Amino acid sequence: MGNSRNRRDFSLVLLLLLMAPNPGGSQIIKNKTLTIGGIFPMSGSWAGGEGCQPAVQMALSDVNNQTDILPEYKLEMDSDDSQCKPGLGTKVLYKLLYNKPTKLLVLCGCSIVSTFVAQAAKMWKLVVLSYGGSSPALSNRERFPTFFRTHPSGTLHNPIRLKVFKKFNWKRISTIQETQELFTSTIEDLEKRVKREGMDIVVRQSFLTDPTNAVRNLRRQDARIIVGVFYEDMARRVFCQAYKEKLYGKKYVWFIIGWYPDNWYKVKDDRHNCTVEQLEEALEGHFTTEAIILHQEPSMTEVGMTAQQFTERLDKMLNTSDTSLITGYPEAPLAYDAVWAMAFAFHKAAAKLEERGMKLEDFDYNNEEITDAIYSAMNSTKFLGISGNVAFTAKGDRIAWTQVEQFINGSYVKLGVYDAVADNLTWYNKEKWLGGRPPPDHTRVIDHLRVVSRTLYFSMCGLAAVGILAGLLCLLFNYSNRHRQCVAFSQPAINNLTVLGCMLCLGCIVLLGLDGKFVTEHQYPVVCQVRAWLLSLGFTLSYGSMFSKIWTVHQMTTSRKKDRTGVQVWELFVVLGMLVVLDIGVLTAWQVLDPLQRRLETFSRIQPTNTDEDIELRPQLELCHSENITVWLGVVFGYKGILLIFGIFLAYETRSVKLKQVNDSRFVGMSIYNVVVLCVITAPISLIISNQENATFAFVSLAIVLCSFLSMGLIFVPKIKEILQHPQRDGQEVKSLTDSLVSREEEERHQKMLYENEQLKKQIAEMEDRVKELNHKLQEKTQNLHTGVPVAESLECSAYNMGAPGSVQGWIIW
Ligand code: ABU
């Protein structure tokens, strides 16, 4: 308490002294010199020396002009350029250490140099004060025991970033960083904080020298809210790549470090190939976060100047019209205050040392007491400087407010300030969004159920309805013409079952197109099961009845039973019944053991074409599925396939059979051909295209419609035609349909008899020729009787030549 009052009194006195005019502008005589070392990055990743070195010079001159601060001592500085390279920075440190005079403290900037310098300096008991070291890693007292900085730590940006994320409800954050301890530790701190708030770092990318792949990966991984931490030179390359990858615009929000000079992207840089306009386009709308490092009030500070006066003096020193291109210009107040902090600390330490009979100039890199005195004086230093309230935490860190700005139309607009100590964010509501509103933190993925097109569905239902109606008419026709021979001899009961089967299959078309548009998730499994039953039983009834007919015809024509007289109807029903029982058995087992369920198949996301909203559609398709569906389909397709193959064989075998009792067997055979061909095409193709809802539905429905129409047509159209052509005929029907039993065997016998007949005719013709010849010879003999040739001898020869007595030839001759 007393300590803090002392500090306040000290500051007040100091302020009054500083503000008091130097009487008569008299020459201030300070006869002793204290030398400090200065390491300035004049080029490289952060060329902050450009803006900070003049500020340091200004501060040294201002301190030296004060009689009450270090009245005996004049501060001098030996400095060199580190190019923001740790190796060169260390070399400069050694040069400072090994060259006289002894340095009492080292001022440095740029985190990567500060880290090396601060780590080495402890060996020389040297206090290091950084005006431009933001690395959170520097807040490690064990590693850097003599380190202080006026530059706030990079982690100071994270609380305000978090506030903004929360404000706009962003929970999925992506990061991209240059691989430097400074940035890695900033991102690690951000990750911890983000997790604590229930958010997530979803993408983390880093790069060493080339950001191309890291930026590309951000795009690939759908990064939207991107925190980028890198030096200014890399920032230009990152945004050039972001421009090329189109990782900017209304869907993206970039958060970058705010300590670059305002026109940092306009600096000529050969390491990227984007124009300033392109960079400006990519940068539009990005956010920056930074510590507030310029006193915000117009009031006088404790270093005898207002912030405004400081800026004017610095601008004059820099002698440039555009300070927005000078790196280190924003940090210049930190450099200026660093010198003042050092001066106050030396002043305090000198007084303390004097009590112990020691002096600051006694320092020789071994004297721990002097280092401790400077260290504790620095620790307790507190004043209102150009950069605001200067004070150091136990870790040597600077405490400061932070601000967030947005790049709107080519310039930075302050959106809000955050006081981390009071946890208070003041927001000015000046943000602008390229899309008119804050973008979401990820692409909104909307599940999109792929359903059968309504037009297709209702068209197929219409066709199915026509088919069912046609089936009903066929049933009616069968009933009303049951006494006509062409109907009565066609096994009308079996034909009715064929029609019924076709109607069931046609009805199934309605169920095939029932999807999420019409039924709920819970109703869908029922639809699946009813579909399976209807289609399977419909097929068995229609095809099975045709099969049983053709089977019976085949049995009839190949039967060896002599007493077989006609078709037994019960035989037809037995065959069909067996098939139906088999079907019911398999379907029941399937239903009980492994019932069909609704399964959603998900496809790769697609971009909707009719909206420019940041959404993607995830297509999903409802499918009927059961655990062992392949086994069940194998069983069902297996026995139905065997039935189809067997059916086609029987149809071929009985292709020319005309059976009175089954007068339409040849049409049934043709119908079987059709069904087999359509099933053989449809079954595998529908399995292959099962993820194309419209194509599958159209294909299967058309196959059902074709099978049903052809089957009913082939069975009923000839009968209808016959009845229409001969409406009055009763009991006599078309010959082609009702011929008597003629089997292929009979046909063969008939052919054989014809052949034998031909052979006999030939033999008869030969015999007749022979008879003619003999008659001719006889006539000659008769004439010879009158000329003296013996008749008996002549007859004997002829008889011998004609064959044995009693043979056909012989019989004909005689
Ligand atoms: N504001 C500049 C910080 C530079 C650095 O930490 O290296």
pLDDT tens for 786-807 read 665 444 444 433 433 443 333 3
Mean pLDDT to the nearest integer, 42-68: 95
Nearest CA to ligand 1 atom 4: 110
pLDDT tens sequence across 647-664? 999 888 888 777 666 778
Which of 364-368, 724-728, 732-736 shows the lowest mean pLDDT across its residues? 732-736
Residue 85 scores a pLDDT above 60: yes
CA of 153 to the centre of ligand 1 (A): 9
The DSSP call for residue 739 is P
Ligand 1 pocket check for 46: Cβ under 6 Å: yes
* Mean pLDDT score of the chain: 86
Choose the residue to mutate in 134, 157, 256, 264 for probing ligand 1, maximizing ligand atoms within 8 Å of C-beta.
134
Comparison of pLDDT for 334 and 742, the residue scoring more: 334
Residue 606 scores a pLDDT above 70: yes
At residue 15, the pLDDT reads 45
Residue 133 in contact with residue 381, Cβ under 8 Å? no
Mean pLDDT to the nearest integer, 624-638: 92
Ligand 1 pocket check for 259: Cβ under 6 Å: yes
The vertex-650 CA angle with 647 and 655, nearest 5°, equals 120
**Of ligand 1's atoms, which has the minimum distance to the CA of residue 114?**
7
pLDDT level of residue 312 (50, 70, 90 thresholds): very high
Residue 10 scores a pLDDT above 50: no
Mean pLDDT to the nearest integer, 466-492: 90
The vertex-733 CA angle with 730 and 739, nearest 5°, equals 140
Residue 62 in contact with residue 303, Cβ under 8 Å? yes
3-state secondary structure of 67: coil
Instruction: Encode 3-17 in three state secondary structure.
Output: HHHHHHHHHHHHHHH
Mean pLDDT to the nearest integer, 69-81: 95
At residue 471, the pLDDT reads 95
Choose the residue to mutate in 46, 144, 262, 337 for probing ligand 1, maximizing ligand atoms within 8 Å of C-beta.
46
pLDDT level of residue 586 (50, 70, 90 thresholds): very high
3-state secondary structure of 41: coil
pLDDT tens sequence across 405-448? 999 999 999 999 998 888 999 999 999 999 899 999 988 889 99
Ligand 1 pocket check for 507: Cβ under 6 Å: no
Q: How far apart are CA 776 and CA 799, in angstroms?
A: 15
Ligand 1 pocket check for 258: Cβ under 6 Å: no
Mean pLDDT to the nearest integer, 775-788: 78
Residue 274 scores a pLDDT above 70: yes
Q: How far apart are CA 290 and CA 292, in angstroms?
A: 6
Q: How far apart are CA 146 and CA 153, in angstroms?
A: 16
Residue 333 scores a pLDDT above 80: yes
Comparison of pLDDT for 487 and 505, the residue scoring more: 505
Residue 582 scores a pLDDT above 90: yes
CA of 109 to the centre of ligand 1 (A): 7
Residue 666 scores a pLDDT above 90: no
Ligand 1 pocket check for 331: Cβ under 6 Å: yes
CA of 648 to the centre of ligand 1 (A): 86
Ligand 1 pocket check for 182: Cβ under 6 Å: yes
Tokens for 181? 């301890």
What one-character-per-residue DSSP string does 232-261 give? HHHHHHHHHHHHHTT--STT-EEEEETTS-
**Of ligand 1's atoms, which has the minimum distance to the CA of residue 112?**
7
Share of the chain above pLDDT 90, in %: 64
**Of ligand 1's atoms, which has the minimum distance to the CA of residue 334?**
1
At residue 418, the pLDDT reads 94
Choose the residue to mutate in 182, 256, 292 for probing ligand 1, maximizing ligand atoms within 8 Å of C-beta.
182
What one-character-per-residue DSSP string does 375-400 give? HHHHHT-EEEETTEEEEB-TTSPBP-
Ligand 1 pocket check for 133: Cβ under 6 Å: yes
CA of 182 to the centre of ligand 1 (A): 9
Ligand 1 pocket check for 48: Cβ under 6 Å: yes
CA of 600 to the centre of ligand 1 (A): 53
Residue 121 scores a pLDDT above 80: yes
Tokens for 637? 């397709």
* Buried b or exposed e, range 521-532, using 16+ CB within 10 angstroms: eeebbebbbebb
At residue 2, the pLDDT reads 36
What one-character-per-residue DSSP string does 176-218 give? EEESSHHHHHHHHHHHHHHHHTT-EEEEEEEESS--HHHHHHH
CA of 114 to the centre of ligand 1 (A): 10
Residue 67 scores a pLDDT above 80: yes
Using only the alpha carbons of the chain, give its radius of gyration: 54
Which has the closest alpha carbon to 129: 106, 95, 152?
106
At residue 803, the pLDDT reads 39
Mean pLDDT to the nearest integer, 229-251: 95
Residue 76 in contact with residue 36, Cβ under 8 Å? yes
Ligand 1 pocket check for 111: Cβ under 6 Å: yes
Choose the residue to mutate in 42, 45, 110 for probing ligand 1, maximizing ligand atoms within 8 Å of C-beta.
110
Residue 349 in contact with residue 104, Cβ under 8 Å? no
At residue 660, the pLDDT reads 67
**Of ligand 1's atoms, which has the minimum distance to the CA of residue 84?**
7
pLDDT level of residue 20 (50, 70, 90 thresholds): very low
pTM value? 0.66
What one-character-per-residue DSSP string does 96-162 give? HHHSSSPEEEEEEESHHHHHHHHHHHGGGT-EEEEEE---GGG--TTT-TTEEESSPPGGGHHHHHH
At residue 662, the pLDDT reads 73
Q: How far apart are CA 475 and CA 462, in angstroms?
A: 20
At residue 567, the pLDDT reads 58
Residue 738 scores a pLDDT above 60: no
